[in-house]
Amino acid sequence: MSSWTGIPELKESYRALGALRFWLIMAMTIAWIGIGAGLAIALDHPAAFGSTCQRKCLIESYWFSPNLLRDGGVLGYALFAWLWSMPAAIAVALILRLRRRDPLNTRIHPQD
């Protein structure tokens, strides 16, 4: 069971990955979030593209994201790519997982 704070899980990840890999993953995660936040703030997305949402606007961010391609310029293209890269990565991971012939290696083979 996971803890409320997540600290024990972070400690376990640190032990499993080692210091270098752990901190590289943490730095890349913070940078990824920072890039997306910076682009969204610079473009005032999604409010500048028609949204009236004030809080918890993830669905509206995706709903208004096609407007980034039409009106956003280079920063708009970058934010569109940033927004849709995570769902695309999840979809690719799921497809690859489903395409594996024996994903959990749990089949019982009869003896001949």
Q: What does the pLDDT look like over 14-34, one tens digit per residue?
A: 999 999 999 999 999 999 999
Closest by CA to 42, choosing from 70, 78, 69, is 78
What is the reported pLDDT for 53? 77
Residues 52 and 112: their CA atoms lie apart, in Å, by: 67
What contacts 17, CB < 8 A, 6 or more positions away? 25
Categorize the per-residue pLDDT at 108 as very low, low, confident or very high, splitting at 50, 70 and 90: low
What is the reported pLDDT for 106? 59
What is the reported pLDDT for 57? 76
Closest by CA to 61, choosing from 48, 74, 71, 70, is 48
pLDDT per position as a tens digit, 84-105? 999 999 999 998 888 876 555 5
For the question of whether the overall pTM of this predicted structure is more than 0.75, the answer is no
| Helices within 1-112 (DSSP H only) | 7-17, 19-43, 58-63, 66-71, 73-99
